[in-house]
């Protein structure tokens, strides 16, 4: 029996219904979607979401977007007016389902008979295959027994088994592989083998772990990949460094430029901070903090689409997800979620805030922001959420 999805979100205008269904870790290619004028189904085993819509929608103009762990639906209404609820009452849903499935119900006996016939035919085919294999094995066994019988008859005619030889034709002191005692499989005498090597002690020194978690509780492969990516990022240089010959030695250091940008941000000089981060990214485009901090500047300046672009790039570089980059992933997710909310894309914003809250579940500020976004989507609040973390 499928598990019903109950933690979905929906909102509406006079002309359109917006529905957000969490995919709970399922890949986009595993999701089955069905939409008609009065029915919506999202199936990703073992979960199922279905809605008998309150009023008809224009299914040929409806759209769906799968990604970032959520399925987003935009359903244009056939009649422009506000719905009292997303779904019909249970009695109306049952009546609708009964009318829609009438044809299937009437044809059910014939379908069942066809299914049973297919199953019977499949069982008969399997039984035939078993019978063929059984007969083949029996013939091979009979042939082997006949060869053994002929061999014994030949020995009896030629005088039987010679003294000192067992019934298998092997002499005492000789194993079945034809190797005599004192001789190894390579035909060498045991006395010719070299003596055992002398024992010794090997000194082992353990490298201190970079991550604070115990080794048995850690994700070694992901942690090693993250450390390797960080080392490569420190060594990387942009392809256009040769065009920046007029810079001082300090200005060619991405870490120095990042620190300079952080100071400009703290002082409220967001344009100056963006310029510092831009130059640092030209020198080294593999440092996720540069994109995340530049996203914070663009959020202050109201460049919301640039916030989404930079925060997405930062999250792409913050892989694999390990304890060392957890805080950075929270900051990037919150900044992108804040930009989505200011663009009134509340479903996408809620997804990012929920991702951040999953990483840091005890963060009370994140809990309040998630609830505020849900209130906005339900129409019980009229203010946007603005959460900035630098």
Structural domain contains residue 285: yes
204 pLDDT band, cuts 50/70/90, is confident
CA distance 279 to 173: 83
CA distance 268 to 277: 15
Mean residue pLDDT across the chain: 79
**Average pLDDT for residues 134-154, to the nearest whole number?**
90
Structural domain contains residue 141: no
Dihedral angle of Cα 90, 92, 94, 99, to the nearest 10 degrees: -170
pLDDT tens per residue across span 335-379: 999 999 999 999 999 999 999 999 999 999 999 999 999 999 888
pLDDT tens per residue across span 308-323: 999 999 999 988 888 8
Structural domain contains residue 331: yes
CATH of the domain at 64: 2.60.40.790
pLDDT exceeds cutoff 50 at 384: no
Structural domain contains residue 195: no
Last residue in a domain, options 32, 57, 88: 88
CA distance 297 to 96: 52
Could you tell me the residue range of the domain that residue 305 belongs to?
Answer: 243-383
Last residue in a domain, options 73, 88, 103: 88
Tell me how far the alpha carbon of residue 269 is from its chain's centroid: 40
Please provide the size of the chain in residues. Answer: 390
CA distance 143 to 137: 10
**Average pLDDT for residues 24-35, to the nearest whole number?**
84
Backbone angles phi, psi at 77, to 5 degrees: -75, 145
More confident residue, 83 or 108: 83
Helix (DSSP H) and strand (DSSP E) numbers for the chain: 11, 8
Structural domain contains residue 119: no
CATH of the domain at 340: 1.25.40.10
Last residue in a domain, options 88, 103, 135: 88
pLDDT exceeds cutoff 90 at 267: yes
Q: Give the number of other Cβ atoms within 10 Å of residue 220's Cβ.
A: 11
**Average pLDDT for residues 30-43, to the nearest whole number?**
88
- Whether the model clears a pTM of 0.85, i.e. scores above it, the answer is no
Structural domain contains residue 123: no
**Average pLDDT for residues 95-108, to the nearest whole number?**
53
pLDDT exceeds cutoff 50 at 239: no
**Average pLDDT for residues 49-64, to the nearest whole number?**
89
Q: What is the number of domains present in the chain? A: 2
């Amino acid at each position: 029996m499928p598990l019903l999805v109950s933690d979905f979100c929906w909102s509406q205008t006079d002309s359109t219904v917006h529905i957000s269904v969490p995919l709970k870790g399922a890949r986009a290619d595993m999701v089955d979607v069905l939409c008609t004028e009065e029915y919506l189904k999202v199936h990703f085993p073992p979960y199922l979401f279905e809605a008998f819509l309150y009023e008809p929608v224009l299914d040929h103009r409806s759209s769906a977007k799968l990604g970032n762990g959520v399925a987003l639906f935009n359903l244009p209404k056939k009649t422009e007016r506000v719905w009292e609820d997303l779904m019909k009452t249970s009695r109306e849903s049952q009546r609708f389902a009964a009318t829609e499935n009438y044809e299937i119900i009437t044809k059910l006996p014939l379908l069942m008979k066809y299914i049973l016939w297919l199953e019977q035919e499949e069982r008969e085919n399997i039984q035939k295959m078993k019978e063929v294999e059984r007969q083949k094995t029996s013939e091979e066994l009979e042939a082997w027994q006949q060869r053994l019988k002929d061999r014994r008859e030949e020995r009896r005619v030629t005088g039987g088994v010679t003294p000192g030889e067992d019934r298998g034709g092997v002499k005492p002191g000789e194993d079945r592989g034809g190797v005599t005692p004192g001789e190894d499989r390579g035909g060498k005498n045991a006395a010719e083998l070299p003596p055992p090597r002398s024992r010794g002690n090997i000194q082992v020194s353990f490298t201190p772990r970079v991550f604070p978690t115990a080794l048995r509780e850690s994700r070694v492969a992901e942690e090693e990949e993250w450390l390797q990516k960080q080392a490569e990022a420190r060594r990387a240089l942009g392809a256009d460094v040769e065009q920046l010959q007029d810079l001082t030695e300090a200005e060619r250091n991405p870490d120095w430029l990042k620190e300079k940008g952080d100071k400009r941000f703290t002082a409220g000089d967001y344009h100056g901070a963006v310029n510092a981060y831009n130059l640092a990214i030209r020198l080294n485009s593999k440092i996720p903090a540069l994109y995340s901090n530049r996203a914070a500047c663009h959020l202050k300046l109201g460049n919301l689409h640039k916030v989404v672009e930079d925060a997405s790039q930062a999250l792409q570089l913050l892989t694999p997800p390990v304890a060392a980059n957890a805080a950075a992933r929270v900051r990037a997710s919150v900044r992108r979620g804040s930009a989505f909310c200011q663009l009134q894309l509340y479903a996408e914003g809620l997804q990012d805030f929920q991702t951040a809250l999953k990483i840091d579940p005890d963060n009370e500020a994140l809990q309040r922001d998630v609830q505020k976004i849900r209130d906005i989507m339900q129409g019980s609040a009229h203010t946007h959420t603005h959460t900035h973390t630098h």
